Each structure stands twice: as structure tokens, then as C-alpha cells.
Amino acid sequence: MKVGAVIITMGNRPDELRALLDSVAKQDGDQVQAVVVGNGSPVPDVPEGVRTVELPENLGIPGGRNVGIEAFGPSGRDVDILLFLDDDGLLAQHDTAELCRQAFEADPKLGIISFRIADPDTGETQRRHVPRLRASDPMRSSRVTTFLGGANAVRTQVLADVGGLPDEFFYAHEETDLAWRALDAGWMIDYRSDMVLYHPTTAPSRHAVYHRMVARNRVWLARRNLPALLVPVYLGVWMLLTLLRRPSRPALKAWFGGFREGWSTPCGPRKPMKWRTVWRLTRLGRPPVI
């Protein structure tokens, strides 16, 4: 199976980007083709053979990654598997691409693999980086219902079947939107603890737009994908969880502003998932109300 890699960058981490590309080049088996997308910025110097695309404006994470997908042909059809990697990450082992090939070849219904993210200094995996509710043991691989945006592998047939990431989301929850559409089309998602991306420990709230985008896109996610009966339940649960976390007053103000924006602005096409998909999500341990 042919493997490609999509990396988006703002051009502000040239050393980390070079180290990541070196780790991609060292993967076992056939060469992994890499495309680096400059998301509204020039692309720093990259090794020979790495393709680059420079966008005149920042299209956000999903928009930038979609451009990277299309660099491999419509829906990435020139390759069988696409790796999506954060530009400040680093593939920890040389066999990750080969493990992806083996996993996809062994399971024809496997559509997406979520890698384990570990801090390069401590080896710690943050709880939020284990894409399931029972996240206390990051070393346990399992079927899951979503995946990590900057550390994953996607079978390109999934993108051909259900489309790419939602451009309008810009940042936050775009992975879950794609995951739900893939699951609704019959694909499965695995979390694999043996496929590791080193990435420095960070807090998502470091982004200035975090609280607004998280709330707005949560509403969009529900409006686009959930049966009508579940939309108020899902959003009500998340509002309660947000209040229980006791964010600061400015953060809460931004969150409620984003929540209102999610209801008052277009969210893209609506295609509610089938009830059998709701049941599948429930059996996998994460019903689409939380």
C-alpha cells in the first residue's frame, strides 16, 4: 500500500519540521511521500523530494489539511494511506508506516488509525490524547469513535466515500466530524498505542480562539451529524460539563459567544447519522451524547 504524509505549518518551527520530515524519511518499507502545506506562510527549507504548497492565507487546520490531501490527487487517490502529522511532532519508531500498512491490509473495514501521542522527555501521554472515555490506560489499544488530528493515518478510500475535513470549522472538532461520517459509512477507527508520535505536552487553551471555536464547532458538529432528537441532549450535556469545569469568566464569556455563533451561522450540509450508527457508537463506549 502506498503511503503519503500531510503536514501543515505556519513556518515558525523550522527545526521541528525538519526533524519530523527526517523521521518520515526513515520509515521502513517503501518511501513515504510527504507534502508540506504552508498555511498562509512560506514553507521553510525542506529536504529534497518533499513537495510543498504555499497558501496565500491561513485556511485553518482542516482547510490546510484538505489542500494537502488534494496534492495527492482527488481525495488523495494517488496513495492508499495518508498520515496527518503535527509539524512539531516526531515519529518515535521507524516501523509506524509499515504497521499502518499491515493494519489496513489485515482489516478491510478499518478506515482510520489514531496514534498515541507521548511527550518526548517524559514519555507521558495526556489523558485528553486517548480518544475514548475510559482513558486511564493509554497503553491499551482499542476500537474508538474519534481520533487525534495531528497523529493519525487515514485510508484514502474513506475520504473518497465521505469527503474530507470540514473547512468551515477552522480549528477544533474537525476530526470528530470526519470520524462520525466515516463510522456512519461503515468504517471503523482504531487507537493504537504502539504507533507513537512524540509531541511536547501542551494545553489546548494556549490558542486564543480556543473557547469560542470549541463551543461554536460543538454546535456545528451536532447540527451537521446528529439525529434531531439527540442534538439538544448532546449540547446540554456539554454545557453542563463546561460549567462543572469552572472556567474563568473571560473563558466562559467566549464559550457562550461561540455557542450562540454555532446556532446563528451556517454549519455546512446536514446529514444526520443513522440510528444504527448511534447504537454502534454506544456499543463502542461513547454514545453521541457526550
| pLDDT, tens only, 191-244 | 999 999 999 988 775 555 899 999 999 999 999 999 999 999 999 999 999 999
Give the number of other Cβ atoms within 10 Å of residue 147's Cβ. Answer: 24
290 pLDDT higher than 90? no
What's the pLDDT at 208?
59
Reading the block at residue 159, the C-alpha cell is 475520504
Of 120, 88, 113, the C-alpha closest to 15 is: 88
Q: What are phi and psi of 85, to 5 degrees?
A: -130, 135
Buried b vs exposed e over 236-250: b needs ≥16 C-beta within 10 Å?
A: eebeeebeeeeeeee
Mean pLDDT of the chain: 96
Q: What percent of the chain has pLDDT over 90?
A: 96
Q: Return d(Cα 248, Cα 216) in angstroms, integer.
A: 18
What's the pLDDT at 209?
85
SS3 annotation, the chain: CCEEEEEEECCCCHHHHHHHHHHHHCCCCCCCEEEEEECCCCCCCCCCCCEEEECCCCCHHHHHHHHHHHCCCHHHCCCCEEEEECCCCEECCCCHHHHHHHHHHHCCCEEEEEEEEECCCCCCCCHHHCCCCCCCCCCCCEEECCCCCCEEEEEHHHHHHHCCCCHHHCCCCHHHHHHHHHHHCCCEEEEEEEEEEECCCCCHHHCCCHHHHHHHHHHHHHHHHCCHHHHHHHHHHHHHHHHHCCCCHHHHHHHHHHHHHHHHCCCCCCCCCCHHHHHHHHHCCCCCCC
Burial of 183 (0-12, 13-18, 19+ CB in 10 A): buried
Q: Give per-residue pLDDT as tens, 6-63.
A: 999 999 999 999 999 999 999 999 999 999 999 999 999 999 999 999 999 999 999 9
pTM of the model: 0.96
Amino acid at 168: E
Beta bridge partner(s), residue 110: 188
Interhelix angle 249-264/210-225, rounded to 10 degrees, is 30
What's the pLDDT at 131?
96
Kindly state the average pLDDT of the residues 260-284. 97
Q: Give per-residue pLDDT as tens, 156-177.
A: 999 999 999 999 999 999 999 9
Q: Give per-residue pLDDT as tens, 68-83.
A: 999 999 999 999 999 9
